[in-house]
Amino acid sequence: MNTKELLKKVRKIEIKTRRLSDHIFGGEYHSTFKGRGMTFSEVRQYQFGDDVRNIDWNVTARYNEPYVKVFEEERELTMMLLVDVSGSEMFGTTNQFKKEIITEISATLAFSALQNNDKAGLILFSDEVELFIPPKKGKSHVLRIIRELLEFKPKSNRTNLAEALKFLSSVMKKKAIVFVLSDFIAEDYEKTLKISGNKHDLTGIRVFDHREEEIPNLGMVQVQDAETGKFQLVNTQSKSVRKAYGNYYRQRVTYFNDTFKKSGCGVISCRVDESYVKKLLGYFKRRG
């Protein structure tokens, strides 16, 4: 992808996802992820309906009329995006690859953080941490995140979520809002997820294609493992082969749901041909 094409793609994603964050997600994001508390802002004259518990009695006595203290939410939150860039994210049979949906969701969340004056950062991972962009504020920073999501070429095609979560714990010392975006065809991350879930407000967003759920009966087919690169002949006519694959896939999905919920983390599952807007909004409203 040349520079001109990249900038065009970044701009297209910016327009779409910024509109979503400005008109839909910004307020929902704010309601869902609260700040650290309330901090004193100013005093003003009492108005009908004000809470009498907020009356500032010293100022009231000085001016001989009631004044109330005004508080505002102390935010300064940090949002981290942990994005799976392994080989399986380049799968898609409908309109888009999983990677493209993940990029749009990530951009929408980053712009929602920007709108609420929160920092946003990015960790791209395969079976190792491929890229770390420390959290910062600003539109140019969010656009850099989108550029990396679009054009980054990982060194490895494999997946190791546990390594990414360990890295998160090492670089984020304070509590952060964390979204992990992956297809979660991974295993052995329960222990590290529990540690991260205790420290951060963590949500797993599973993006998948309906064709991954089961193998169709197509006869003898040569398939390539997206993460290992190995080719293998598979007899899709065999019921036992199709059943074994279906069981394996369902086990990974169950592991994802159970492990995240046990760790006190949120879960969202979104198929590539579904509206991620509805999925995110439903999740925010349930939590808000």
Q: What is the CATH number of the domain that holds 92?
A: 3.40.50.410
pLDDT in tens, 56-99: 999 999 999 999 887 655 557 899 999 999 877 656 555 678 89
The overall average pLDDT reported for the chain is 86
Long-range contacts of 272-279 (CB under 8 A, 24+ apart): 272/92, 272/94, 272/95, 272/96, 272/97, 272/98, 272/101, 272/207, 272/208, 272/209, 272/210, 273/94, 273/95, 273/210, 276/101, 276/104, 276/105, 276/108, 276/207, 277/20, 277/24
pLDDT in tens, 160-188: 999 999 999 999 989 999 999 999 988 89
Q: 133 and 185 share a domain?
A: yes
Q: Quote the pLDDT of residue 127.
A: 94
Q: 45 and 176 share a domain?
A: no
Structural domains in the chain (count) = 2
Q: 42 and 139 share a domain?
A: no
Q: 20 and 145 share a domain?
A: yes
Task: Give the span between the Cα atoms of 134 and 205, in whole angstroms.
Answer: 21
Domain limit, last residue, from 74, 98, 133? 74
pTM: 0.79
Q: 19 and 45 share a domain?
A: no
Q: 45 and 93 share a domain?
A: no
Q: 249 and 170 share a domain?
A: yes
pLDDT at 39 over 70: no
Q: Quote the pLDDT of residue 101.
A: 92
**Residue ranges making up the domain that contains 157:** 3-31+76-287
Q: 141 and 230 share a domain?
A: yes
Q: 153 and 139 share a domain?
A: yes
Q: 44 and 114 share a domain?
A: no
Q: 236 and 103 share a domain?
A: yes
Collapsing DSSP to helix, strand or coil, 196 comes out as helix
- Most confident range (mean pLDDT) of 27-36, 162-171, 211-220, 274-283 is 162-171
Q: Quote the pLDDT of residue 42.
A: 77
Q: Quote the pLDDT of residue 91.
A: 60
pLDDT in tens, 201-233: 999 999 998 888 787 777 777 776 666 667 778
Q: 203 and 93 share a domain?
A: yes
